[in-house]
Homo-oligomer: A and B are copies of this chain.
Amino acid sequence: MLQVVSARRELPILGQAQPERSDAARNRQKIIEATTRLIAEHGTEQLSLDEVARAAGVGVGTVYRRFGDRSGLLLALIDEHERRFQEAFLSGPPPLGPGAADRDRLRAFLHALVDRIRGQEGLFLMLEKGVRYSGPYQVHHTHVATLVAGVRPGCDAHFLADGLLAPLNANLICRRGYSIERIKSGIDQLVDLL
């Protein structure tokens, strides 16, 4: 059985032997609260960590020591909801949790993940600064959608085209550790399903 995993555990280089010192924990809390407040007031778009530090009444260095970087702070905010979410699909009631058929659990999980992302939309968008859906992507998308419609008439070719193109990003291809052969054969499996 998988364990619920908190993003926070990742910060210390090699697992924390000692618990946090009391002033550190206090400051962590102050920073989280200040961030939540600032986002509520000014939106996620323009969130400056300098400002967070000022609002929390700590130095900017403290923010970075506690959370590593901007993403770390955002992940910490995401983390609280994440914990509940993980409990739901790891040990909650079916169809999300154990008990239902694999296919139903899979469907339920993916649906729940969509809702979860919508629930913290602003935070997730900040984490994905990347530039997709612009320029060449449009052409690729139209091309793939046309072919998908040819292969499998009646399906939602537009959405499936996005679905097929989504795994083809540099992070997955270059940084996830798959060999090129494996990626291409995985793609073939996907195409064969159609």
Question: Which residues of A does B touch, CB under 8 Å?
Answer: 2, 4-5, 7, 10, 71, 75, 78-79, 82, 86, 89-90, 102-103, 105-107, 109-111, 113-115, 117-118, 121, 124-125, 127-136, 138-140, 142-144, 147-148, 150-151, 155-156, 159-160, 162-176, 178, 180, 182-191, 193-194
Contacts and interface: CB of A to CB of B under 8 A. Distances in A.
A143 B186 contact: no
13 contacts: A7-B135, A10-B134, A106-B147, A106-B191, A107-B188, A107-B191, A114-B187, A128-B169, A129-B129, A132-B171, A132-B172, A156-B185, A166-B166
B170 A121 contact: yes
B186 A151 contact: no
Contacts of A109: 140, 143-144, 147
A155 B110 contact: no
A102 B5 contact: no
Contacts of A75: 131, 134-135
Contacts of A191: 103, 106-107, 110
The secondary-structure label for the interface of chain A is helix
A187 to B, nearest CB: 5
A107 B187 contact: yes
A180 B191 CA distance: 25
A171 B5 contact: no
B168 A128 contact: no
A179 to B, nearest CB: 11
B82 A136 contact: yes
Contact of A139 (B10, B86, B160): B86
Contacts of A129: 129-130
Contact of A114 (B110, B140, B144, B180): B180
A142 B2 contact: yes
B125 A128 contact: no
